[in-house]
Amino acid sequence: MSRALLSHILHRPPLLASRSGVRGGAIPSRLHALRLNCTAAEATASTDDAPAPPARKKRVVSGVQPTGMVHLGNYLGAIKNWVALQDLYETFFFIVDLHAITLPYEAPQLSKATRSTAAIYLACGIDSSKASIFVQSHVRAHIELMWLLSSSTPIGWLNKMIQFKEKSRKGNENVGVALLTYPVLMASDILLYQSDLVPVGEDQIQHLELTREISERVNNLYGGRKWKKMGGRGGSLFKVPEALIPPAGARVMSLTDGLSKMSKSAPSDLSRINLLDPKDVIVNKIKRCKTDSLPGLEFDNPERPECKNLLSVYQIITGKTKEEVVSECQDMNWGTFKATLTDALIDHLQPIQDRYEEIMADPAYLDSVLVDGAGKASEIADTTLNNVYQAMGFLRR
């Protein structure tokens, strides 16, 4: 994890001045970015420099959709990092099944995929004694808060979201309203838990910036003295979350196009390594993945994106440094390197696959993990939701 421990980015002018142009790369300057290689001491929150009781751990939330198969990009870019985060932070990792219906899907497969994704979390090393693991739809507050936030979210903010523009072009008039409004649900997912930090990749930065702006808007509209006059404690209704940036190289690209991110929605299954792919499938996919005809292997040649991607995957899977990988692989030909990478992938994924099979064979255990996680999540979510209802003037029972 080679980036600096903590990078504070200077503030830019308020609200949407730059959102429509964000496509990844630099973090928008309104976001404070925290790198993943922080220590346990840096993962706690303290309000001042005076002696105080032990500060609580900062809170982190994240999730993965139960659509398609969880692949190497999901694992290296998110789930593998969560394993380290659960020792440093108070963590909530959920399966975002409500997000999975924004595009056409197979209803009979949704519950199966949700259970499978939860089992993969556990098989990859997420520990239910350290992290709360639950299904998004099992905590009803997610939907209720989304509706409340929607009343304060300008439609113009949502129209500028890049993913809506890109996906709506493909579906034309058949695109559902949920594709436009799901960023508000994402904001609800984060703000319900008074989250301090949110792990984000380059393609999610715009959504987190929107979440921050929604939280600030609702705080201004209903928080502070206005909330106190409604019988509340006053102050902010929501904590404004910051970005938690994954380590360099954790963005895994397609096996068929080194310039495109590995994706569940890509038409060809040859473009990705799924976590549950059997050995012979992994062998075939790596053997057929796109490479080039140049001699030697190198990380930093922009004309060789596939080379950089495959070397980066090998580096992360093996836990070696970039320098160690260069020393080992720079003089290899593609045939030799592909065999080396294939062996490393199989060795790394086999224990995950074995553990997954054990978990899926014990449905009572998996159910208990999800019920317990939803219970812990609901305690926090319901408090936040009730505060918002109160501040917005609803008559409560």
Strands (E), the chain: 6-7, 33-35, 59-64, 90-95, 131-135, 197-199, 242-245
What pLDDT was estimated at residue 339?
A: 97
pTM value surpassing 0.95: no
Confidence at residue 168, expressed as pLDDT on a 0 to 100 scale: 64
Q: Is the pLDDT of residue 52 over 70?
A: no
Asked if pLDDT for residue 15 goes beyond 60, the answer is: no
The residue length of the chain stands at 397
pLDDT digit string (tens) for 99-111?
999 888 899 999 9
CA 249 to chain centre: 15
Query: What mean pLDDT do residues 232-260 have?
Result: 88
SS3 label, residue 180: helix
* Percent of the chain whose pLDDT exceeds 90: 72
264 is catalytic: yes
- Tell which wins on pLDDT, 197 or 203: 197
pLDDT mean over 122-140:
98
CA gap 392, 144 in Å, rounded:
13
Of the candidates 57, 130, 160, 264, the residue annotated as catalytic is 264
pLDDT at 317: 94
Does position 31 have pLDDT exceeding 60, yes or no?
A: no
**Contact indicator for 32, 8 with CB cutoff of 8 Å:** yes
Q: Determine the pLDDT at residue 13.
A: 33
Q: Which residue has the tokens 């980066």?
A: 312
Q: How many CB atoms lie within 10 A of CB 17?
A: 12
* CA-to-CA separations, 195 to 12, 93, 172, in angstroms, rounded: 22, 12, 35
Task: State mean pLDDT over 321-340.
Answer: 96
In Å, what is the CA distance from 41 to each residue of 87, 89, 109, 178? 11, 10, 43, 40
Given the residues 58, 239, 261, 338, the one annotated as active site: 261
Looking at the predicted structure, is the pLDDT value of residue 18 above 80? no
* Active-site choice (130, 167, 320, 322): 167
The overall average pLDDT reported for the chain is: 86
| CA–CA separation, 111 and 353 (whole Å) | 20
User: Please, is 309 exposed, middle or buried when counting C-beta atoms within 10 Å of its C-beta (0-12, 13-18, 19+)?
Assistant: buried
Q: How many CA atoms lie within 13 A of 205 on its CB side?
A: 22
> Is 327 within 8 Å of 367 (Cβ atoms)?
no
CB crowding 93-110: b at 16 or more within 10 Å, else e:
bbbbbbbbbbbebeeeeb
At 6 the pLDDT is 33
Residue 279 known to be catalytic: no
The answer to whether 313 and 305 are in contact (CB under 8 A) is no
Q: How far is CA 32 from CA 28, 29, 145, 219, 244, in A?
A: 9, 7, 25, 19, 9
Write the pLDDT tens digit of every residue in 362-388.
Answer: 999 999 999 999 999 999 999 999 999
* CA-wise closest residue to 207 among 141, 169, 162, 150: 162
User: Sheet of 90-95: strands edge to edge?
Assistant: 6-7, 33-35, 242-245, 197-199, 59-64, 90-95, 131-135
pLDDT exceeds 90 at position 39: no
pLDDT tens by residue, 135-166? 999 999 999 999 999 999 999 999 888 777 66
Alpha-carbon torsion (187, 193, 198, 199), positive or negative: negative
Q: How many Å apart are CA 26 and CA 207, to the nearest integer? A: 14
For 312, the 3-state DSSP assignment is helix
Q: Are 290 and 305 in contact (CB under 8 A)?
A: no
- Amino acid present at 60: V
Catalytic (active site) residue 58? no
Angle of CA points 6, 11, 12, to nearest 5°: 135
Evaluate whether 82 touches 91 at the Cβ level (below 8 Å): yes
Whether 123 and 355 have beta carbons less than 8 Å apart is answered as yes
Q: How confident is the model at residue 27 (pLDDT cuts 50, 70, 90)?
A: very low
Query: CB of 300 within 8 A of CB of 308?
Result: yes
